[in-house]
Chains A and B, each alone.
Chain A
Amino acid sequence: MVVSKEEILHIAKLADLNIKDDEIDEYAKNLQDILNFVDVLNSVDTQNIKESIGTVNNSNVFRKDEIKEFGDRDILLQNAPEQEDNMFKIPKVI
C-alpha cells in the first residue's frame, strides 16, 4: 500500500494538524515506513496462536458502582486559560 498526498492531507485534517506543503513528502515517507513495518508483522505465521485483543492478557477489570466525589472543582479548573461561572470558557461554537 502506498500513501498518497491526498491521504496525508486527509489524515492531517482529521487530526486537526496544519502541515505545510513541503512537509507532505516527509510525512508520507514516515507513514509509509510504518505501513511497511505492519507488512512485516502481517507476514508472521499466527496460525497456532490464540486470538487476543490488545497486548494485555487481563480481562474483566471492573470497578464497583460506588460514588467517590473528587470534590475540588478549583483544582480541576485551575489550568483553564479562561473560565466563567465555574465552566471552561472557549471560543464560541454553535
Chain B
Amino acid sequence: MSREDYEIVIGLEVHSELSTKTKIFCSCPTEFGGEPNTHCCPVCMAMPGTLPVLNEKVVEYAIKAGLATNCKIADISKNDRKNYFYPDLPKAYQISQYDMPLCEHGYIEIEVDGEKKKIGLTRIHIEEDAGKLNHDDYGRGSLVDLNRAGVPLIEIVSEPDLRSSEEVDLYLKKLKSILEYIEVSDCKMQEGSLRADVNVSVRKKGQKEFGIRTEMKNMNSFRSIVRAIDYEAERQIEVLENGGKIDQETLRWDDVSGKTFSMRDKEDAQDYRYFPDPDLVTIRISEEMKENIRKSLPEMPESRKKRYIEEFKLPEYDSNILISSKYFSDLFEGATKVCNNPKAVSNWIMTDITKELNEKELEPSDIPFTSEQLGNLVVLIDKGTISSSIAKKVLQEMFENPREPQKIIEEKGWVQISDEGAIKEVVLKVLEANPQSVADFKAGKDKAVGFLVGQAMKETRGKANPQMLNKMFLEELKK
C-alpha cells in the first residue's frame, strides 16, 4: 500500500466576519483595531441584566451569502446558545444557530483541471465572534480585549466533498471572491476576517465509509491551510500503514515547524449543550424578503468573465485573473471606462500592480488609488504624454502617495519629450558624442541604433519618446 492507494477527504467550516457597521446584538462599532475595550458596552461584555437585539443587516447579509451560493433559505430560523468556558467568551456561551440555520443545501462550483466540480454547502448560519486574548511574555496573566466580542460572523460549512489541498485552495478562493462580490465581508485575512476550521480524514480508495477525522481550528492563511492538509493527510496515512489508529481530535498546526500537534485530551469531548436562546425571538423570512435580497445581488464573477471575453475581447487567462478578486474586477471596469483600452488595463493589473501588491504584501482590497486614476495613467501612455517606463514609476508613486497621474508627472517633471525640435537636438548631441557607434552602423551593425537610443534616453532621463528617437536616429544615420 502506498500514498496513491488513499483518498483524502476534507470538509471546511469557514468563518467570515460580516462588514456591518455594528455588532450582531448591540450597537457597538465593529471596526478593526480600536484601543482595547473601546468598542464595547454592557451587552457585549455580558453584564447581568442586559439583553441582545439582533442586527437586521446580519440576517440580510447571511441570506445574501446563501443566495449567492445556491442555498435554500429557511422560512423560520432561530438563535441557539452554544455553551463553553473560555475567557474570550464573556457570557460563557456563544449565540449561534444549531438546528435551524438561515441557509442550507447550497453549493459552490470550482474548476479542477478544466472540469467543473460542485462542492456542497451543508449550511450557513450566523453567530457572534469572541474577544481577543493578549498574552504578554513578561507578565503572569493574560489580558482580555472584548472589542471583537459580538462582531457578526457567518459560518459556512462545506460537505466533505473536497479531495485535495488544491481543491481546498480553489474552493476558498472562490468563496472569498463571492463574499467580496456581494459585499458582505471584506475578507481581510491578515485581520482575521476570514478563518477556517479544517477537517481532514483519509480512506482507502474505493472504501465507502469515511475515515476518522482530525480538526485544525482557526487557520487564517490559504497557504498554511494547504500545507497543513498535505502534512496531516500524510501523517494519517503513515499511522494507518503502520497498523495504527487515527484519534478523533483537535490539532494545532504550527506554521514554523510545518507539523500538527495534539491540542486537547479526548476526555473533553465536545458537548456544547445547545438550546434555544430565550432572550431572542424567532426569525421569519418572508418570500418577499428573499426576493428583495435576490434582486439586490450584484453581477457575479462568472457573468463578468463572460462579458470580458465577449465584450472586451480579453483572453480567458486575463479574465480569470481579473475576476479572481472583486477589487481587481472593479478596478478593471472603472479604468477601462476612462481609457477605453481594456487589454492595457488588464496588463497593468496582471503585471505591475500584482507585482507591487506581492512586494508590499498587500491584497487587492488595499490598492490605494482609484480606477479613474489608473484609467488616466493608461490615457497618458496612449496619448504619448509619458513612456511606459515612466508610467511604471508613476504607478509606484500612486501606491506610495495616491494622486492623479497627471499631477505626478507634472510635479516630477516626467512629461515625455515628443517635440520634434527637442528630440532632434538630443539626437544630434548623442551622434556627436558617439562617433564609434555611427561608424559601426555605417559598417552594417544595425544594433548600434539601439545603443544610441539608450544613450538618448539616458540623456533625457527616460523622458524622450523612444519611437521618435528611433525614427530620427535612422533618418540622421542614413543621410
> Interface of A with B (CB < 8 Å)?
10, 14, 16, 52-56, 58-70, 73, 76-77, 82, 84-94
Contacts and interface: CB of A to CB of B under 8 A. Distances in A.
Contact of A70 (B21, B41, B54, B55): B41
B218 to A, nearest CB: 14
A91 B139 CA distance: 10
A76 to B, nearest CB: 6
Nearest to A79: B47
A82 B140 CA distance: 12
B395 to A, nearest CB: 36
Nearest to B57: A65
B190 interface: no
Given A59-B284, A67-B28, A73-B37, A54 B56 contact: no
Contact of A90 (B42, B54, B141, B280): B141
Interface of B: 20-22, 27-29, 35-38, 40-42, 45, 47, 53-57, 59, 76, 78, 83, 85-87, 100, 133-135, 139-146, 271, 273, 276, 278, 280-284
A63 to B, nearest CB: 4
Given A70-B42, A94-B135, A61 B281 contact: yes
Contacts of A66: 21-22, 27
A16 B35 contact: no
Contacts of B86: 93
A90 B142 contact: yes
Contacts of A55: 278
Of all A-B residue pairs in the complex, the 7 with the closest CB atoms, nearest first, are: A70-B41, A62-B56, A87-B143, A68-B27, A65-B57, A88-B144, A59-B282
A61 B27 CA distance: 15
Contacts of B41: 70, 76
Nearest to B44: A70
A58 B284 CA distance: 10
6 contacts: A62-B54, A65-B56, A68-B28, A85-B143, A86-B37, A91-B141
